[in-house]
Amino acid sequence: MAVPQPYTVPNEFVNNTTITSDSHNENWDYLETYVEALSDGSYIATDAITTLKIQDSAVTTSKLAAASVTSVKMAANVGLVTPDIGAATGASLNTTGNVVYHITISNKTTDYTLAAGDDGDIVEMDAATNKTISIPLNATVPFAIGTQIIVSRIGLGEVSIAGVSGVTLQAAGSAYRLRATFSAATCIKRATDTWILIGDTKV
């Protein structure tokens, strides 16, 4: 724990006194030691420098010496939180390497209407009897255009996908049911109240 220390000159000189080299050098040596202790933080009290006392934008990368901030110098309890950078802009996002992400799986056993939290997830229906997964109006759940939700059939019961009144659901050959147990399809929002169903479906 750092302990603040006052700076005291070992030798004080007054008028009409002889200054010896030993006394002069001792003062400089003490000053050098004190400044070094300030540099490594030995004489700076714990919590003396806080974020509230640092002016906004006062610390910049250009003011930090190369490799001056290391993991060793950071306390073990410092949590690094990935910031929310907001929506990316531009026509595309280029990356190198693999992009790994995990989809949330939501298990249902009764008729179900898609909710906002299902965006980008898998909604699986596990029932022994026939069930329906419904797509709500935009006025009820304003999914963004381009939203993709995977629906899957886990149980023996038939699973139908349908839009509520006012929602248009498009599917090749009007195939709105998942074909068999473990079949899946993706619901994609194309317009305000228009969706398309793509996947392992049947009439």
Q: Domain check: are 41 and 122 in the same one?
A: no
d(CA 132, CA 163): 10
Q: What H or E segment, with its residue span, contains residue 160?
A: strand 159-163
Does residue 68 fall inside a structural domain? Answer: no
Does residue 118 fall inside a structural domain? Answer: yes
H and E: helices and strands count for the chain: 1, 11
Does residue 115 fall inside a structural domain? Answer: yes
Does residue 45 fall inside a structural domain? Answer: yes
d(CA 138, CA 45): 58
User: pLDDT tens for residues 47-59?
Assistant: 777 777 777 777 7
Q: For every one of its 203 residues, what pLDDT tens digit does the chain have, with 9 covering 90 and above?
A: 556 677 778 888 888 888 888 888 888 888 888 888 777 777 777 777 777 777 777 778 777 777 777 767 666 666 666 666 666 666 777 778 888 889 999 999 999 999 999 999 999 999 999 999 999 999 999 999 999 999 999 999 999 999 999 999 999 999 999 999 999 999 999 999 999 999 999 99
User: pLDDT tens for residues 12-33?
Assistant: 888 888 888 888 888 888 888 8
d(CA 21, CA 23): 5
Q: Which residue range forms the structural domain that includes residue 45?
A: 1-62
Q: Domain check: are 111 and 23 in the same one?
A: no
Does residue 185 fall inside a structural domain? Answer: yes
What's CA 198's distance to the chain center, in Å?
A: 30
User: pLDDT tens for residues 144-168?
Assistant: 999 999 999 999 999 999 999 999 9
For residue 136, give the CATH number of its domain. 2.60.120
Q: How many domains does the chain have?
A: 2
Counting Cα atoms < 13 Å in the Cβ hemisphere of 202 gives 8
pLDDT at 90: 67
Q: Domain check: are 193 and 129 in the same one?
A: yes
Does residue 40 fall inside a structural domain? Answer: yes
d(CA 158, CA 106): 18
Q: Domain check: are 53 and 122 in the same one?
A: no
Q: Domain check: are 52 and 113 in the same one?
A: no
d(CA 140, CA 189): 14
Does residue 84 fall inside a structural domain? Answer: no
Q: Domain check: are 196 and 113 in the same one?
A: yes
Q: Domain check: are 55 and 113 in the same one?
A: no
Q: Domain check: are 120 and 31 in the same one?
A: no
pLDDT at 4: 66
What is the DSSP-derived secondary structure letter of residue 186? E
Does residue 91 fall inside a structural domain? Answer: no
Q: Domain check: are 133 and 57 in the same one?
A: no
Q: What H or E segment, with its residue span, contains residue 151?
A: strand 148-153
pLDDT at 93: 73
Q: Model-level pTM greater than 0.75?
A: no
Helix, strand or coil for residue 44? coil
pLDDT at 89: 67
